[in-house]
C-alpha cells in the first residue's frame, strides 16, 4: 500500500483523453470537492453518480437525509472558502441564513438555557440541496472534470496490490444489465455511508477496513413550516434543544433560505418520532420546554414529515496496516460517518478535501496511498471524538467502540465539567463553541483561562426561561 496514489501534475491540454485519470465514486459534496482537488493533479477526473443531478436546487434520492436540517460549521466554511474562493459570498447572495451562535438562537443544553452572548461563531443553516448545487456548479465548470450520471460502481478493476479502475453498471432497471470497465490510475470512494467498498475489495483479494461503530439508535423526523410572521420573532432566528443522557428527546427549528423553518424532533431506539402530521406535532411536546410546541401551534406546515434512522457513527480504519491496494482512497461518509444530529458531515467533507489538496501538494514526501489516507482520517478525527464521545454516554448505545479506556474516562470527566459551565461562563462557552464548530482544536479547552474556570469555578447563572433577546455587547 506504499505505492503512490497514481496522481501527477496536470499536463497541458488537460481535457484530452490520455494521461492520468482519476475516478471519484459519488457526486456528493465530498466527491465533488475531491474531484476539484484532483483536477489540479490529473489530466482527467470522472465523477460517477448513481442519480441524475437535478437541473437546479433540489433533493437527490442518493442523499436520504437531504430533507433534514444541515448546518455548515465554521471549520467547513474556512475549508470551502480555501477550495473555492468567494464561495461564502455566493452562499449569502443565494439567501442562506447566517446564524450567530449563541446570540441568534435560543438553546437548551443539559437542563439549562444558554445565555445569548454576542456571537463568537456563525453557522449557515440553509438547505443541503442549495449548498450542494452551488458547489456542483463551481466544480463541474472545470473542463478537466467529467460526469457519468445514472450509473453505479459495482466493483473494482485490478488486484490486491493496485486498483486500476471501476466496474460500472447503468441504472436502467434491468437486473441483467452488463457492467463496463472504466480504467483509472486512482479511484476515490465518496459513495457515502452505504459504501460497498468492503465487497469490492474482497472481490479483488484485498482486505476491507476494520470498522469502529457507536450506535445510540437515535432517529429523527423533520418538516418544513412557515411562521405566521415569517420568523420566530424579531430577534431570534431559531431554537434548539440538545438531547443528552438525562433528556434524550431533542429538537428545534432552523431557518431556511426562503424564510421558512425546518423543524426537527428526535428520540432514541424504541421511541422514534412518527411522520404522521398530528403525531409529529404531538411528539414535540416531549421536549424539555414547550417553546417549540407553542410555535408549531401558530405555524403553517408546508411539507409532510420525513423520518431518518441511520445515525450510527462508523469509522473505517483504512489507515491501519492490511492487504489493501494502492490507488484506492475513501473520503467523506465512506470513510467516517457521524451521527447527523451534530451537523459535522458537510464541514468534514470540505476539510477532507483540504487535507487531500495539502498532502498531494507536499513536495517533501511522496503521496503514498497510506499517507494520503491517514491525512483524510486525521481531518475527521476531531469530529469523530466529539460525536462518538457524546454518543458513548447515551443510554442504550451499542457498537465496537462504545467502551472507553482510562484516558477517555478522564477526558469525559473534564468535558462534562466543560458542558456544565459553557451555558453560563463566557470564557468556557466561547472555547467550547470553537471546538464544536471545528474552528479550534480540542486543546483550546485546556487553555489556562478555560482550565481555571472548568476546574475551580462553579457553573455560572443562566436564564430560568428561554431568553427572548440577545445580550448587549460589552463596551
Structural domain count, the chain:
2
Angle between the N-to-C axes of helices 369-392 and 426-436, in degrees from 0 to 180, rounded to the nearest 10: 130
Indicate if 59 and 155 belong to the same structural domain.
Answer: yes
Residue, of 451 and 1, whose pLDDT is higher: 451
Q: How confident is the model at residue 239 (pLDDT cuts 50, 70, 90)?
A: very high
Integer Cα distance of 210 and 201 in angstroms: 13
Determine, yes or no, domain membership for 178: yes
442-449: average pLDDT: 96
pLDDT of residue 367: 87
For the ranges 70-74, 143-147, 239-243, which has the lowest average pLDDT?
239-243
Integer Cα distance of 153 and 166 in angstroms: 6
Indicate if 361 and 237 belong to the same structural domain.
Answer: no
Q: Output the domain CATH number for residue 194.
A: 3.50.50.60
Indicate if 301 and 169 belong to the same structural domain.
Answer: no
Indicate if 148 and 31 belong to the same structural domain.
Answer: yes
CA distances from 102 to 5, 281, 424, 443 (A): 43, 26, 12, 21
pLDDT of residue 53: 87
Determine, yes or no, domain membership for 248: yes
pLDDT exceeds 50 at position 98? yes
Indicate if 148 and 163 belong to the same structural domain.
Answer: yes
243-270: average pLDDT: 93
Indicate if 206 and 257 belong to the same structural domain.
Answer: no
Residues contacting 468, CB < 8 A, separation 6+? 106, 233, 235, 236
Domain final residue, candidates 284, 308, 332: 308
Determine, yes or no, domain membership for 125: no
Indicate if 152 and 206 belong to the same structural domain.
Answer: yes
Integer Cα distance of 436 and 451 in angstroms: 17
Taking the whole predicted model, whether its pTM rises above 0.85 is answered as yes
pLDDT of residue 63: 62
pLDDT exceeds 70 at position 206? yes
Determine, yes or no, domain membership for 347: yes
Determine, yes or no, domain membership for 465: no
Burial (Cβ within 10 Å: 0-12, 13-18, ≥19) of residue 465: exposed
pLDDT exceeds 80 at position 57? no
pLDDT of residue 269: 93
357-386: average pLDDT: 94
Residue range(s) defining the domain that contains residue 364: 21-66+134-213+311-389
Integer Cα distance of 292 and 195 in angstroms: 36
Indicate if 60 and 182 belong to the same structural domain.
Answer: yes
87-114: average pLDDT: 95
Indicate if 385 and 304 belong to the same structural domain.
Answer: no
Q: How confident is the model at residue 228 (pLDDT cuts 50, 70, 90)?
A: confident
pLDDT of residue 336: 97
Indicate if 365 and 276 belong to the same structural domain.
Answer: no
pLDDT of residue 6: 65
138-161: average pLDDT: 96
Determine, yes or no, domain membership for 44: yes
Q: How confident is the model at residue 15 (pLDDT cuts 50, 70, 90)?
A: very low
Q: Output the domain CATH number for residue 257.
A: 3.30.70
pLDDT of residue 58: 60
The residue whose grid cell reads 477496513 is 209
Determine, yes or no, domain membership for 334: yes
366-395: average pLDDT: 94
pLDDT exceeds 50 at position 218? yes
pLDDT of residue 247: 87
pLDDT exceeds 50 at position 328? yes
Q: How confident is the model at residue 407 (pLDDT cuts 50, 70, 90)?
A: confident
pLDDT of residue 11: 32
Determine, yes or no, domain membership for 453: no
Indicate if 344 and 207 belong to the same structural domain.
Answer: yes
Secondary structure letter of residue 250 according to DSSP: E
pLDDT of residue 62: 58
Q: Name the 3-class secondary structure at 284.
A: helix
pLDDT digits (tens, 9 = 90+) for 282-296: 999 999 899 999 999
Q: How confident is the model at residue 266 (pLDDT cuts 50, 70, 90)?
A: very high
pLDDT of residue 1: 43
Amino acid at each position: 500500500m506504499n505505492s503512490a496514489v497514481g496522481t501527477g501534475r496536470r499536463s497541458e491540454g488537460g481535457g484530452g483523453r490520455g494521461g492520468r485519470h482519476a475516478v471519484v465514486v459519488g457526486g456528493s459534496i465530498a466527491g465533488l470537492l475531491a474531484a476539484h482537488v484532483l483536477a489540479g493533479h490529473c489530466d482527467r477526473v470522472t465523477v460517477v453518480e448513481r442519480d441524475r443531478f437535478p437541473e437546479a436546487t433540489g433533493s437527490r434520492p442518493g442523499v436520504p437525509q437531504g430533507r433534514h436540517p444541515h448546518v455548515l460549521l465554521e471549520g467547513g466554511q474556512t475549508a470551502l472558502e480555501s477550495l473555492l474562493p468567494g464561495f461564502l459570498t455566493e452562499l449569502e447572495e443565494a439567501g442562506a441564513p447566517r446564524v450567530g451562535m449563541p446570540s441568534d438562537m435560543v438553546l437548551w443544553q443539559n437542563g439549562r438555557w444558554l445565555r445569548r452572548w454576542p456571537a463568537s461563531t456563525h453557522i449557515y443553516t440553509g438547505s443541503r440541496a442549495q449548498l450542494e448545487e452551488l458547489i456542483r456548479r463551481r466544480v463541474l465548470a472545470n473542463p478537466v472534470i467529467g460526469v457519468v450520471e445514472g450509473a453505479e460502481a459495482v466493483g473494482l478493476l485490478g488486484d490486491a496490490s493496485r486498483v486500476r479502475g471501476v466496474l460500472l453498471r447503468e441504472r436502467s432497471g434491468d437486473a441483467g444489465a452488463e457492467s463496463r470497465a472504466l480504467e483509472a490510475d486512482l479511484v476515490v470512494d465518496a459513495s457515502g455511508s452505504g459504501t460497498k467498498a468492503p465487497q469490492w475489495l474482497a472481490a479483488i483479494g484485498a482486505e476491507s477496513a476494520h470498522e469502529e461503530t457507536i450506535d445510540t439508535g437515535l432517529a429523527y423526523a423533520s418538516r418544513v413550516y412557515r411562521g405566521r410572521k415569517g420568523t420566530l420573532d424579531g430577534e431570534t432566528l431559531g431554537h434548539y434543544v440538545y438531547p443528552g443522557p438525562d433528556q434524550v428527546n431533542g429538537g428545534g427549528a432552523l431557518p431556511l433560505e426562503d424564510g421558512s423553518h425546518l423543524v426537527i424532533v428526535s428520540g432514541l431506539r424504541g421511541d422514534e418520532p412518527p411522520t404522521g402530521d398530528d403525531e409529529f406535532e404531538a411528539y414535540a411536546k416531549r421536549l424539555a420546554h414547550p417553546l417549540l410546541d407553542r410555535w408549531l401551534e401558530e405555524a403553517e406546515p408546508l411539507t409532510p414529515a420525513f423520518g431518518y434512522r441511520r445515525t450510527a457513527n462508523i469509522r473505517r480504519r483504512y489507515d491501519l496496516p492490511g492487504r489493501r491496494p494502492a490507488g484506492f482512497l475513501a473520503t467523506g461518509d465512506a470513510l467516517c460517518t457521524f451521527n447527523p444530529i451534530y451537523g459535522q458531515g458537510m464541514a468534514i467533507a470540505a476539510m477532507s478535501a483540504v487535507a487531500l489538496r495539502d498532502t498531494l501538494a507536499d513536495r517533501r514526501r511522496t503521496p503514498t496511498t497510506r499517507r494520503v489516507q491517514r491525512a483524510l482520517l486525521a481531518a475527521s478525527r476531531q469530529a469523530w471524538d466529539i460525536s462518538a464521545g457524546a454518543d458513548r454516554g447515551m443510554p442504550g448505545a451499542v457498537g465496537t467502540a462504545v467502551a472507553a479506556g482510562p484516558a477517555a474516562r478522564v477526558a469525559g470527566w473534564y468535558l462534562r465539567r466543560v458542558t456544565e459551565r459553557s451555558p453560563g461562563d463566557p470564557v468556557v462557552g466561547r472555547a467550547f463553541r470553537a471546538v464544536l464548530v471545528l474552528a479550534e482544536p480540542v486543546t483550546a479547552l485546556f487553555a489556562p483561562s478555560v482550565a481555571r474556570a472548568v476546574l475551580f469555578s462553579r457553573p455560572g447563572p443562566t436564564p430560568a426561561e428561554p431568553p427572548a433577546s440577545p445580550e448587549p455587547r460589552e463596551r
